[in-house]
Structure 1
Amino acid sequence: MSTRSDRRWAELARELEFTRLPELRRQAEGWRTGLTGLTALLAVLVLLKGRDDLAGLPAWARDSATGLLLAAFLLLTTGSLLAVRAAHGAPEREILLGGQALRRWTEQETARVTRALAWASLCCVLGVVLVVGARGGRWGVSSARAHPAGGGGWYTGR
């Protein structure tokens, strides 16, 4: 590499310090949009299909599925709120006019945004896993009731 190229890379590295927070904010906005859409989609699915699908289940299965769906909805909502916080920040008490104060705030805010984004993505994944678990458990219980042990399966051993 040439000296000029090395200088340009060093200059870009110095500028990165000043562009990191805006980049994280843009990333968080994408997550916020995705999580909000996913939460809305799952809420609509639960509201439209929830009651009649769970009505024929035993009480323990119905209660378990309802608990899983509620926990999933709470996780997805929490993930959405964390993504909003990461994208837009929290209302600040003061306006920072000093260079060092602004630098400290930027470093702290970058850490908070990164942490909020990590928690938002974890909440999203766990929420989807719980929805799948609730639906899978419902199908498993329905299948077991339709085909009790030893009778009615696709293979009867005869």
Structure 2
Amino acid sequence: MANKITLNLQIACTNLYGIPNKKIFQKWIKKIFFLYNKKIELTIRIVDIQEMLYLNWYYAGKKHPTNVLSFPFKTPLKGILSSLLGDIVICKQIIEYESKQYNISSIMHWAHMIIHGSLHLLGYDHILNKDAELMHQMELNIMQKFGYHNYYFFN
């Protein structure tokens, strides 16, 4: 069974310049979840810095914006199956800023944030060093599958 992916792309930015189009996001998601043999639904929401600042404060208790947040979906009752993985929220201005600050391609950085957010939806995290190393290696492998061989991670 080939996986069917439903992507809800929400653009909540005042300036749309530099945001990859939906086909690019779909291509990345298909490659990330290639071996995930299930129906998949997820939302990618691109936001301005004000919304990301609020979300990071409200959900993570941090008083600064971040580049990406993931919100894995959990069913309210045990035994209920859902194809919904969750939401990935990406801050456009931070992606642009980090791309310039670290002298990396903007499109590669967008791809990395989609990978990073997707791995969080699947339950991976980087709280412990061993988990961070595993997640970093997975991100690197997927980036190489995308054809981005010279991307360096600054996290």
Q: Same fold (TM over 0.5)?
A: no
Instruction: Give the number of the structure whose residues are more often helix, by fraction.
Output: 1
Instruction: Give the number of the structure whose residues are more often strand, by fraction.
Output: 2
Structure 1 length normalisation: TM-score? 0.24
**Rg bigger for which structure?**
1
Higher relative contact order (CA 8 A, sep 6+): 1
